[in-house]
Amino acid sequence: MLEAYGSAIAYLFGNPSSFLLIIFSVVWGIAFGSVPGLTGIVGVALLIPFTFVFDPTAGLLLLSGVYVGSTFGGSISAILFNTPGSPEAACTALDGYPMAKKGQAGKALGIALASSAIGGIFGTIVLMLLAPPMAQFALNFGPPEYFALAVLGITAISAIGGGSVLKGLVAGLLGLGIATVGLDPITGTERYTFGNLSLLTGISFVPAIIGTFALAEVLQRAGERTSTADVITDVSTKLPSMKEFLATRYTLLRSSSIGAFIGALPGVGATTAAFISYSEAVRWSKRPQDFGTGVAEGIAAPESANNSAVGGSMIPLLALGIPGSATTAVMLGGLTIHGIIPGPLLMETNTQLVYTVFIGMFIANILMLVFGIRAARYFALVLKAPYALVGPAIVVLCMTGVYALNSNIVDVGVMLAMGAFGFLLRKLKYPIASFVIGLVLGPIAERSLRQGLVISDYDYWDFVSRPITAVLLIASLVSLIYGFYGQWKRHQDAQAAKMAAG
Amino acid sequence: MLSLKTATMAAFMAGTTLAVPAALAQDYPTRTIEVIHSYGPGGGTDRFIRAVGVPFEEISGQSMVPISIQGGGGMPAYANFQQRRVDGYTLMAISPDQIIAHVLGRIQMDSFQPLARVQYDQGMILVPESSPFQTIQDFMAHARENPGDLTVGITNAAGFDDTVMGLWNIETGAEVTTVPFGSSEMVSNTLGGQVDAMHEEYGPARGLIESGDMRPLVVFSDERLPVLPDVPTAVELGYDVTLGRWRAFAMPADADPAHVETLYGLVSEAVATDAYQQIQEQAALQYRSVLLGPDEFQAFIESEIEVYTRVLDALGLTD
């Protein structure tokens, strides 16, 4: 292994231009991540033709740097405009934007950046040290385990409700319900499309999230007519102080671990990792009711998880040749063009390539800190403009961004409808976070439940009695009961306090 | 009626194709040609278009780029294709998925002018290293004794893989159960032993076969693959299953016949280059990827529609 690192370092210093490539790729990635509609996947796909002129190692360095940069980049626009620049950052908006609205945009960006770097480095270290055993362990996760994992994430919605378990559950169930529109994942038949073929795509998660977050926010601000009242004033980007940083250390550790592991599971990636670690942050918090109002853990959790998932999703790609996420699937295509056969032998036959990429990702995460601060500063300047100009610009970005993702005009319609729906949810004080978690995790839960039942021949006991599945499902049940108990207890305490006062 | 007309037209054109492309290259194409497809960037079809695109650009001076519009059973991509102007600069990459959508009544195949079928892949059934089944005979013996017990991972519900496995069930008279996954989960669930086997083409599975993590049991083709001389074909076992995933270009039905002619000439030149052939060999696609021109491709599409209709009817997927 040391020999492998030796040859990797020799490669990097033998090709000093590779450092330039890493710098370029991180900046490119941050730019693609931060602009809605240009995601990391697009950033990687656009660079693939350019990798033809490089050797495969330089090519993969370039692509992995973009992946690292774009995963952080999305959080900039999520925090400043409530418009996630990439799907991975959707969860960051839940607490990032409220914190920015409180006049602490700088602090929010700083936490996002520091958490991203910590998570990214954690994920890279896991990738360096544990890739083959992690990849083997992830193979134990079949459909029942995926289902249990998704259920565990979904049950946290009861804790998010802003005090009301009922409203949290209703919003979550709406999310689950809307996610069923489109093609049935197992039989391929049409569901809730009312014969309209353009609904076959279903309510895709990105347009739904941009609608409920960004568009609904603009609608609400327009309705409030307080264009100057709550302007985001502090846009400097300070890294959090040591004290603030230490306060989130457990969240960072937990979320980075969740991120690396979920990243390593094929088929689910950084977005799922961000939402599940957010759910866990809420569950383990002493003050779950504060989530959604701009708490540090609410930013640290998704940001460390999604960046850690970058390293994680490289694990199955390099150890088994199976992409762990949509972006690594594009990278796999890039590798194949270079004549490299992805598979379990890759780490043995292309040692130098693999280990150079490890080091490259490490450097990329550190560079992200340097360039992230700059990028955030430039973006934040937009906030100095009056909202009467920024608001309409966000609406335009929402529309073009959603269309650019998949050139599908139906998605723009979905985004607009979801904007109105999100506005309604806010007015009625239903938590958007629960709705979105239902929408993101629902399809994973449904698909894996039904895959698992087909495999077990509809034997439910066979399904739940698998050890990992059983543990995760029991944890979900306990968490759900505890959520109701917590609310009942808070209610009792409030009653008692009232009695004592009266 | 329409398809008959196009077929005659195409037959006429095919005769004159080889001689003209260089002369016509002056006034068409004069700008980028966009190829719409319904798969992810970096996937097999995306790479196929890029692979043809590189020599295409050298020959014609114009680039050919893939436009990925995913999801919805290929409907959004088809809708986008139909909304575009018919000016010779929009193509669609089609595959058995369009045949299936046609059979299910979602699209009309006669809205395409077939241009060229380029790749013709061959699928196989693979089991993980730990599987008790060493040969396809072991596998099928178990399937016969325990109908529906064996699970085979596939990609996309009611898509191409489902059709192939459905035909396999019809031909063998045994029953294996298909479980639809995303392509990477299909591989991980098979490696992890969650399902008994999977259906995949040689190219994507090559790394896993070479490392010994997966064992191909049967290949769906007319002849054995030279790289896998010990793996029998379904045909030699007496089951007529040769359905393979093919990748092809199509233009809108009312495309200018002169454009069809020119473009087919350019594509066939591009496909003949060493650069393209090399990429094709890396994915082990060279064995039965015979280039079909507009008229032969039309005939091929018609025979495919027949086969798919039969299988999908038997699977109870058509109304």
A323 Cα to chain B: minimum distance (Å): 6
* pLDDT tens, residue by residue, A8-24: 888 888 888 899 999 99
On whether both B140 and B75 belong to a single domain, the answer is no
A110 Cα to chain B: minimum distance (Å): 33
Give residue for tokens 């999801």.
Answer: B71
Asked, for residue B260, whether it belongs to a domain, the answer is yes
Cβ-count burial of A395 within 10 angstroms (0-12 exposed, 13-18 middle, 19+ buried)? Answer: middle
CATH number for the domain harbouring residue B45: 3.40.190.150
Q: Can you tell me the distance from the alpha carbon of B220 to that of B201, in angstroms, rounded to the nearest whole number? A: 9
Q: Can you tell me the distance from the alpha carbon of A208 to that of A201, in angstroms, rounded to the nearest whole number? A: 13
Q: Is residue B267 predicted with pLDDT exceeding 90?
A: yes
On whether both B98 and B9 belong to a single domain, the answer is yes
Which of A199-203, A313-317, A357-361, B106-110 shows the lowest mean pLDDT across its residues? A199-203
A436 Cα to chain B: minimum distance (Å): 20
Range of the domain at A476: 2-501
Interface test with B, best of A187, A336, A449, A466 (most B CBs within 10 A): A336
- Band (A327; pLDDT cuts 50, 70, 90): confident
What is the pLDDT averaged over residues A384-393? 84
Which of A4-8, A116-120, A154-158, B285-289 shows the lowest mean pLDDT across its residues? A154-158
Asked, for residue B167, whether it belongs to a domain, the answer is yes
What is the pLDDT averaged over residues B133-152? 95
- Please tell me which residue of chain B has the smallest CA distance to A317: B184
Measure Cα distances from A416 to A208, A211, A223 in Å. Answer: 9, 6, 17
pLDDT at B273: 95
Q: Is residue B25 predicted with pLDDT exceeding 60?
A: no
- Band (B308; pLDDT cuts 50, 70, 90): very high
pLDDT at B8: 44
pLDDT at A342: 81
- Please tell me which residue of chain B has the smallest CA distance to A49: B50
Q: Can you tell me the distance from the alpha carbon of B185 to that of B194, in angstroms, rounded to the nearest whole number? A: 10
Q: Is residue A1 predicted with pLDDT exceeding 80?
A: no
* Chain B residues touching A186 at Cβ < 8 A: 157, 180
On whether both B151 and B189 belong to a single domain, the answer is yes
Of residues A207, A206, A216, the one with CA closest to residue A419: A216
On whether both B231 and B283 belong to a single domain, the answer is no
pLDDT at A50: 83
On whether both B257 and B114 belong to a single domain, the answer is yes
pLDDT at B21: 46
Range of the domain at B140: 123-237
Q: Is residue B211 predicted with pLDDT exceeding 80?
A: yes
Q: Is residue A201 predicted with pLDDT exceeding 90?
A: no
More confident residue, A51 or B290: B290
More confident residue, A133 or A404: A133
Q: Is residue B127 predicted with pLDDT exceeding 60?
A: yes
Q: Which of residues 267-326 of A touch B (CB under 8 A)?
A: 267, 316, 320-324, 326
End-to-end CA distance of chain A: 71
On whether both B143 and B218 belong to a single domain, the answer is yes
pLDDT at A363: 94
What is the pLDDT averaged over residues B236-246? 93
How many beta-carbon contacts under 8 Å exist across A and B?
160
- Band (B19; pLDDT cuts 50, 70, 90): very low
Residue A191 — φ and ψ, nearest 5°?
A: -125, 130
On whether both B104 and B133 belong to a single domain, the answer is no
pLDDT at B291: 95
Q: Can you tell me the distance from the alpha carbon of A101 to that of B161, in angstroms, rounded to the nearest whole number? A: 50
Asked, for residue B7, whether it belongs to a domain, the answer is yes
For the record, the structure tokens of A316 come out as: 């199955």
* Chain A residues touching B84 at Cβ < 8 A: none
* Chain A residues touching B126 at Cβ < 8 A: none
The share of chain A scoring above pLDDT 90, in percent, equals: 38
What is the pLDDT averaged over residues B141-160? 92
Which of A173-182, A224-233, A263-272, B5-14 shows the lowest mean pLDDT across its residues? B5-14
Q: Can you tell me the distance from the alpha carbon of A323 to that of A318, in angstroms, rounded to the nearest whole number? A: 8
On whether both B273 and B295 belong to a single domain, the answer is yes
| C-beta atoms of B75 and A346 within 8 A | no
pLDDT at A230: 53
For residue A316, give the nearest of B148, B151, B188 by CB distance. Answer: B188
Q: Across A323-327, A482-486, B215-219, which has the greatest mean pLDDT?
A: B215-219
* pLDDT tens, residue by residue, B36-71: 999 887 778 888 998 999 999 999 999 999 988 887
A373 Cα to chain B: minimum distance (Å): 31
Q: Which of B237, B271, B289 is the last residue of a domain?
A: B237
Cβ-count burial of A400 within 10 angstroms (0-12 exposed, 13-18 middle, 19+ buried)? Answer: middle
The share of chain B scoring above pLDDT 90, in percent, equals: 69
On whether both B156 and B91 belong to a single domain, the answer is no
For residue B282, give the nearest of A143, A204, A339 by CB distance. Answer: A339
On whether both B139 and B157 belong to a single domain, the answer is yes
Q: Which of residues 185-204 of A touch B (CB under 8 A)?
A: 185-189, 197-198, 200-202, 204
On whether both B154 and B189 belong to a single domain, the answer is yes
Give residue for tokens 């007319």.
Answer: B222
* Chain B residues touching A208 at Cβ < 8 A: none
* pLDDT tens, residue by residue, A478-497: 888 877 777 777 778 888 88
Question: What is the number of domains present in chain B?
Answer: 2
Q: Which of B184, B213, B237 is the last residue of a domain?
A: B237
For the record, the structure tokens of A196 come out as: 């309209």
pLDDT at A231: 56
pLDDT at B318: 77
Q: What is the DSSP letter of B292?
A: B
pLDDT at A163: 64
Question: What is the number of domains present in chain A?
Answer: 1
Which of A113-117, A127-131, A290-294 shows the lowest mean pLDDT across its residues? A290-294
| C-beta atoms of B180 and A200 within 8 A | no
On whether both B140 and B250 belong to a single domain, the answer is no
Q: What is the DSSP letter of B225?
A: -
Average pLDDT, chain B: 88
Q: Can you tell me the distance from the alpha carbon of B37 to that of B17, in angstroms, rounded to the nearest whole number? A: 26
Q: Is residue A406 predicted with pLDDT exceeding 90?
A: no
CATH number for the domain harbouring residue B178: 3.40.190.10
pLDDT at A379: 80
A408 Cα to chain B: minimum distance (Å): 6
* Chain A residues touching B68 at Cβ < 8 A: 406
Interface test with A, best of B80, B184, B198, B318 (most A CBs within 10 A): B184
